Chain A
Amino acid sequence: MEPLLNNQRTVIIFDGARGYGSSFLEEAFGGLVRLGFNKAKILETFEFVSDNDPALVSELIDYIDDAESEG
């Protein structure tokens, strides 16, 4: 959350971990929306990199969209 508060551009590299559960990704990124950050701000602050799992970035953007539409 710190990069969002400090307007600090941050690259998040997902490669290297042994997989991510959708529940974790939803909680982390959908959670940012529920905390009050909008999609534009999140995407402006974070750059997501996932070479090993190319489906992951669009998956977490879906969570951001879903959280926005629920909010």
Chain B
Amino acid sequence: MVSESCQFITPVIVIVGWFFVDWRTNNRELRKEKRSLIDKIHIDIDFIEKKAIEYHQAEYANEQVSKEIKILLGRLIKVINREELIVKKDFWIFSAFKKAITLNNFDSSTFMCQSDNSELLDKIYATKDSLIDKVESEFSKRFR
């Protein structure tokens, strides 16, 4: 009787163990994938910030740079949305970053070159930090 039970239990343990190991491996791989995606997002956000500073500190409103910024922001939100890097209720954090760059002094006939300590640039730095912080906290919540 006992040996019959053992015969049954052993394969069950093997199967459960296999599922557990498989689940852990998948999870680890998914974490790695998300990590490298987030590292790439950091580079993209840094680049958008760089372009935004370049735009707002230029001598004139450079239409080419403004177009590039809009395209880059559009690509960024697509990836954030598709990969669920932040939850929908926190999308306003992306909007705040976008607004900081493109609401004032942007595509405007009254463009003014911004000084290093301007409020507009400070807002860009602050909202960028909040966006990166949100992406990182979502990652930590899901994978730690």
Contact = CB atoms under 8 A, between A and B. Distances in A.
B77 interface: yes
A55 B70 contact: no
Contacts of B98: 22, 55, 59
Contact of B103 (A22, A53, A55, A58): A22
B104 A23 contact: yes
Interface string A3-43: 00000000000000011111110100000000000000000
Interface string A33-71: 000000000000000000011110011001000000000
Given A54-B88, A55-B94, A58-B91, A19 B99 contact: no
Contacts, number: 55
B117 to A, nearest CB: 22
Given A26-B103, A53-B78, A62-B95, A18 B88 contact: no
A19 B74 contact: yes
A24 B98 CA distance: 12
Nearest to A18: B71
A52 B81 CA distance: 8
B57 to A, nearest CB: 17
